Amino acid sequence: MSQNPFPHWTIEYFGQEGTCFGLAIKDKIHEEQSAFQKIGIYDTETFGHLMVIDDCMMLSQRDNFLYHEMMSHPVLFCHPKPEKVAIIGGGDCGTLKEVLKHPEVKSLWQIDIDERVTRLAEDYFPELCTSNQDPRAQLLFDDGIVWIQQQAPESLDVIIVDSTDPVGPAAVLFSADFFLACQRALKPQGILVQQSESPLLHGKTLIKKLHQDMRAAGFSETHTLPFPQPVYPTGWWSCTMASKGTPLKQFRQTDAEQKTFVTEYYNAEIHQAALVQPEFLKRALSE
């Protein structure tokens, strides 16, 4: 075994799964207890800045583009005309930045309950916050569930749920009642997309229940897209889309191929490939 060249590490243990993930760090550069959660910022040896919330790794400068692009571009290129978009959560503003690359988007609301996440992102992840002043965007620091419930019926085209894990206050974002409120707020061709954890760890449990609850809420079609994400459990993550009327296995492929903006991971071929589910996940969702 080679000698460890780095003396200091931050490690997140996934106890029930019997695994963990660690990053070598230079220093902890910020820590605070907000009104809602404990937030830490590390300077790592190889992944740039790292944000940790309640001891769970949220994002790093090196690999966040994987998550933010896959939470944004597949659903926006799937929808025929995504003009009005809401992001529930997403306080680091990386998803907001990706959504606003789409010229079709006319109005964007981001609703995150903890303003401190956004302010720390502006300080330590400024590259994610370059679109915060876009006139199309409104950053609201409020309860996203209540906000969705207060929206007029059929007033939104796309809802992106960029949430933390389904524990504590975020657990309700994975509930049937929340999906029902989203279904009500979406237009007839509207699409909801929810981050849905690891296919390898949660396919038979959380992801399967998401599909069941989304369909029980009135969505006619659901589909899970896996993608890589090194700092999350197993390094393999997913998002699950639910549609009122738009086919989820089709997308505006020509528009994706001719996109006028730069991405690091997403392209039309990646989108097409992500629609193909591994056999074990298909079995888990059909059992």
Alpha-carbon dihedral of residues 109, 110, 112, 116, nearest 10 degrees?
A: -120
- Give the angle subtended at the CA of 104 by the CAs of 263 and 135, to the nearest 5°: 90
Residue 16: predicted pLDDT: 80
Render pLDDT for 53-95 as a digit per residue (tens, 0 to 9).
Answer: 999 999 999 999 999 999 999 999 999 999 999 999 999 999 9
The rounded distance, in Å, linking the Cα atoms of 265 and 256 is 13
In whole angstroms, what is the distance from residue 67 CA to residue 238 CA?
A: 9
Q: What is the pTM of this model?
A: 0.96
Catalytic residues: 162
Sign of CA dihedral 140, 216, 241, 117: positive
At position 109, the amino acid (one-letter code) is W
Average model confidence (pLDDT) for the chain? Answer: 94
Alpha-carbon span 80 to 82, nearest angstrom: 6
- Positions of E strands within 126-282: 137-140, 156-162, 186-195, 221-228, 236-243
- Where do you find CATH 2.30.140.10 in the chain? 9-60
Residues of the chain with CATH 3.40.50.150: 64-286
Rg (Cα) of the chain, in Å, rounded?
18
As a whole number of angstroms, the distance between CA 43 and CA 260 comes to 33
Q: What is the pLDDT of residues 176-233, one digit of tens each?
A: 889 999 999 999 999 999 999 999 999 999 999 999 999 999 999 999 999 999 999 9
pLDDT > 90? residue 127: yes
Whether 170 shows a pLDDT value over 60: the answer reads no
175: exposed, middle or buried (Cβ count in 10 Å: 0-12, 13-18, 19+): middle
pLDDT tens digit sequence for 20-48: 999 999 999 999 999 999 999 999 999 99
Q: Residue 166 — pLDDT band, cuts 50, 70, 90?
A: low
The CATH code belonging to domain 9-60 is: 2.30.140.10
64-286, superfamily in CATH?
A: Vaccinia Virus protein VP39 (3.40.50.150)
